[in-house]
């Protein structure tokens, strides 16, 4: 099966990695719009235009399904995009919301971009939900500054010290998982892992992975190497 995945940058590669582990014998085409990141501070109109461009590129690569591996796009444009295109499109947030609704968690924390938190998409009628914008985290992650900014990250997340689970509501944030869990003793929820468990994809017989980015840097390559423990090819789009 030929599967398309897209995000603003490196975050969706975390989702891609989860999918490859679960369904290793497929052809994966990834598009990362690094030239236009971060997406979290863009208008809905801008996001829809950028997402449409990404989807049309993936369609040109003859993918059979498309996964929106971006919390910001998923929370603002998903239904509009799904209506616009005939190809099956899946978002990253819906499986996590279903999981949370079925869970026994009483106190849930959510971190995400400005647009994701503003969308109120994680307001699932649970009694205690704390939602918090963390716009500085994406640049920190993209520029490999997690260790340098560790104190700032920890300080910003101290309000979540008593939650049952912290939802990483942006696909970049799994790269902060170790820092969060080791320094704040908080359990985290990775939307990519939830998606890969809930989505039903048939396994093919051959593996390939092609990554396309609108800009490529040393930091990007380093992040990909840390995330993807498998073969891939990378291209400038």
| Active-site annotation, residues | 70, 170
- Indicate the DSSP class of residue 203: -
Angle separating helix axes 218-227 and 11-22, nearest 10 degrees: 30
Numbers of helices and strands, H then E, in the chain: 11, 10
Omega cis (within 30) before 121: no
- Distance, in Å, from the CA atom of 167 to the CA atom of 9, rounded to the nearest integer, reads 20
- For residues 113 and 170, the answer to whether their CB atoms sit within 8 Å is yes
* Separation between Cα atoms, residue 58 and residue 214, nearest integer Å: 13
DSSP string computed for 170-200 = STTGGGGHHHHHHHH---EEEHHHHHHHHS-
| DSSP helix/strand/coil, 122 | coil
Contacts of 212 (CB under 8 A, 6+ apart): 29, 30, 31, 32, 57, 234, 235, 236, 237
């Amino acid at each position: 099966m030929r599967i398309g995945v897209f995000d603003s940058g490196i975050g969706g590669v975390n989702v891609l990695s989860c999918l490859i582990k679960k369904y290793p014998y497929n052809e994966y085409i990834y598009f990362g719009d690094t030239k236009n990141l971060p997406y979290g501070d863009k208008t809905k109109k801008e996001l829809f235009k950028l997402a449409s461009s990404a989807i049309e590129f993936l369609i040109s690569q003859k993918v059979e399904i498309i996964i929106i591996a971006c919390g910001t796009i998923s929370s603002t444009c998903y239904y509009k995009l799904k209506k616009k295109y005939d190809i099956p499109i899946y978002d990253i947030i819906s499986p996590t919301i279903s999981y949370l609704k079925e869970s026994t968690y009483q106190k849930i924390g959510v971190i995400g971009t400005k647009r994701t938190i503003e969308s109120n998409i994680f307001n699932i009628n649970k009694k205690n939900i704390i939602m918090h914008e963390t716009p500085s985290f994406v640049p920190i992650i993209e520029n490999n500054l997690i260790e340098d900014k560790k104190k700032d990250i920890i300080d910003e997340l101290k309000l979540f010290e008593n939650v049952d689970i912290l939802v990483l509501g942006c696909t970049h944030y799994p790269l902060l998982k170790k820092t969060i869990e080791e320094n704040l003793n908080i359990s985290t929820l990775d939307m990519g892992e939830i998606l890969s468990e809930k989505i039903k994809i048939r396994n093919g017989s051959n593996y390939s992975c092609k990554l396309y980015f609108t800009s490529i840097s040393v930091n990007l390559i380093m992040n990909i190497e840390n995330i993807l423990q498998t073969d891939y090819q990378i291209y400038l789009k």
